[in-house]
Amino acid sequence: MKLDEEERTRPGEGQGQVEGFEPPLYGDVLEKILSHLPLIDLVPASHVSRTWRLNVDSSLRHVNRPKPWLIVRRQSRRPPLASTTHAYDPRSNIWMTLVDRPSTELTPRSAASTRSSHSGLVYDLSPARLSFSHDALFSKWHHVSPPSVWRTDPIVAKVGRRVVVAGGTWDFEDDPLSVEIYDTEIGKWDVCGSMPDILKDSAASTWLSVAANDLKMFVSEKSSGIAYSFDPVTKVWVGPIDLRPDPMMYSSAISFAGNKLLMVGLIGESTATKSLKLWEVAFNSESVNVRVKCNLIGEVPALLVEKLKGRSGSMSSVSLTAAGEFLYVCNPSEPEEVVLGEVRGGGCSWGSVRNPAVDDGNRMERFLFSCASVGIEELQGRKRFKVVK
């Protein structure tokens, strides 16, 4: 007769151990063993029994906690259009290929044309509709009517329950700085005031770095560090904000990690990068236009900067994606290597991983980088994974 975990006799209880029967694992020993398993393997382990499920939960809370994943989406620029998605789990130090497609299918053309303006949101914008996804592994897609003003390469960011579409490039529209907001709760678009005039020549996401949380969206010119904040509730832009703590900074990127606004900056010049630094942007009042301070958290080790330069030996720009206490930095022109950082106690520890999505045959294709907190809940019944060796 098969016994459930809770019904088996513990060693030392009853009549002793039955010959040939291995005593079950309990408590700290089981938690320690589970802490060494990849997160994806803890999903079936949590279904063994109630005892195992409790130990899985305890192991993730107290022994080896989940860490935000890096999601890399590779998109073909030429027919046949195709896209593949890889995920890196720093807790387990493994790369995986996401095997299953999203539950709500995108057409091959839409899947290959998705974009990402900031961590945690991917979208496809066409004259017919706006499709976007913001869950951890982009399993669920939302399809809504498009904004009234057509543009290419706009800023698209989710701020709380609202999706903001701003700027972009245009051919026939009168206002290159138009802003529209989609309310996901009421399913309606709202047109509001334009972006600041100073951004007229750099309103596309190619030239701007975007960070968003539940309250505000921040946009920053990558080359100058001039930034603005936008509140989709009050529809007010605040700025300009000077995010250039080092006069030698020639390119930067911003992203939210939890409730912290982080910024990475390249120091020197594109053909001779001297260093790559990380700051936390601190606002000292409600009116961010009044006082802002960039507190230096750390500097990427020189060896890792060289890895980011790749074969070209240079960096013209840098991208940043973050969640929780983790951040990932890459060189958009040379995406083979990704630098990862973990912010702790006012400092940052650094490392790097090679991006398996890149090879000699696809180096010129488009790569989207995002970051998300992934736990057992996000993995339950969502996708299958294939470990990349």
CATH of the domain at 311: 2.120.10.80
| Structural domain includes residue 12 | no
> What number of H helices and E strands is found in the chain?
6, 25
Which of residues 120 and 332 earns the better pLDDT score? Answer: 332
Amino acid at 95: W
pLDDT score, position 306: 92
Stretch 342-351: mean pLDDT:
88
- Give tens-digit pLDDT for 39-52: 888 888 888 888 87
Which of residues 137 and 385 earns the better pLDDT score? Answer: 137
* List of residues 6+ apart from 297 with CB closer than 8 A: 262, 278, 279, 280, 343, 346, 347, 348
Which long-range CB contacts under 8 A does 301-307 form with residues at least 24 apart? 301/350, 302/275, 304/339, 304/350, 304/351, 304/352, 305/273, 305/275, 305/276, 307/337, 307/339, 307/352
pLDDT score, position 81: 57
| Structural domain includes residue 38 | yes
Which of residues 345 and 246 earns the better pLDDT score? Answer: 246
Statement to judge: residues 49 and 70 lie in one domain? no
| Structural domain includes residue 5 | no
pLDDT score, position 258: 81
> Of the ranges 48-57, 74-83, 349-358, 363-372, which is most confident?
349-358
- Asked if residue 353 has pLDDT above 70, the reply is yes
State the Cα–Cα distance between residues 358 and 345, nearest whole angstrom. Answer: 34
> Of the ranges 41-55, 60-74, 302-316, 357-371, which is most confident?
302-316
| Structural domain includes residue 309 | yes
pLDDT score, position 4: 44
- Asked if residue 13 has pLDDT above 50, the reply is no
Cβ pair 182, 147 in contact under 8 A:
yes
pLDDT score, position 5: 42
| Structural domain includes residue 347 | yes
| Structural domain includes residue 13 | no
Span of 299-308, 327-336, 376-385 with lowest mean pLDDT: 376-385
Stretch 60-81: mean pLDDT:
77
pLDDT-derived band of residue 21, with 50, 70 and 90 as boundaries? very low
- Asked if residue 210 has pLDDT above 80, the reply is yes
Statement to judge: residues 52 and 117 lie in one domain? no
Statement to judge: residues 291 and 201 lie in one domain? yes
- Asked if residue 34 has pLDDT above 50, the reply is yes
- Asked if residue 300 has pLDDT above 90, the reply is yes
User: What's the sign of the alpha-carbon dihedral 296, 300, 302, 306?
Assistant: negative
Which of residues 31 and 43 earns the better pLDDT score? Answer: 43
- Asked if residue 374 has pLDDT above 70, the reply is yes
Residues pairing with 263 in the sheet: 254, 279
State the Cα–Cα distance between residues 283 and 296, nearest whole angstrom. Answer: 14
Statement to judge: residues 174 and 280 lie in one domain? yes
| Structural domain includes residue 57 | yes
Statement to judge: residues 156 and 274 lie in one domain? yes
Instruction: Provide the percentage of residues in the chain whose pLDDT is more than 70.
Output: 80
Statement to judge: residues 134 and 223 lie in one domain? yes
pLDDT score, position 288: 47
Nearest alpha carbon to residue 229 among 302, 283, 173: 283
- Asked if residue 180 has pLDDT above 80, the reply is yes
pLDDT score, position 363: 63
Neighbours of 366 (CB within 10 A): 17
Statement to judge: residues 214 and 351 lie in one domain? yes
- Asked if residue 12 has pLDDT above 60, the reply is no
Q: What average pLDDT does the chain have?
A: 80
- Expressed in angstroms, the distance from the first to the final Cα of the chain is 40
Statement to judge: residues 242 and 176 lie in one domain? yes
- Asked if residue 188 has pLDDT above 90, the reply is yes
Statement to judge: residues 140 and 253 lie in one domain? yes
Neighbours of 15 (CB within 10 A): 6
Statement to judge: residues 78 and 152 lie in one domain? yes
Stretch 342-368: mean pLDDT:
82
Stretch 98-120: mean pLDDT:
60
Cβ pair 233, 221 in contact under 8 A:
no
- Give tens-digit pLDDT for 235-284: 999 888 889 999 999 999 999 988 889 999 999 988 889 999 999 998 76
Domains identified in the chain, total number: 2
- Asked if residue 127 has pLDDT above 60, the reply is yes
Statement to judge: residues 151 and 254 lie in one domain? yes
Neighbours of 376 (CB within 10 A): 17
Amino acid at 356: P
The domain in which residue 32 lies consists of 25-65
| Structural domain includes residue 52 | yes
Statement to judge: residues 48 and 72 lie in one domain? no
Stretch 121-142: mean pLDDT:
84
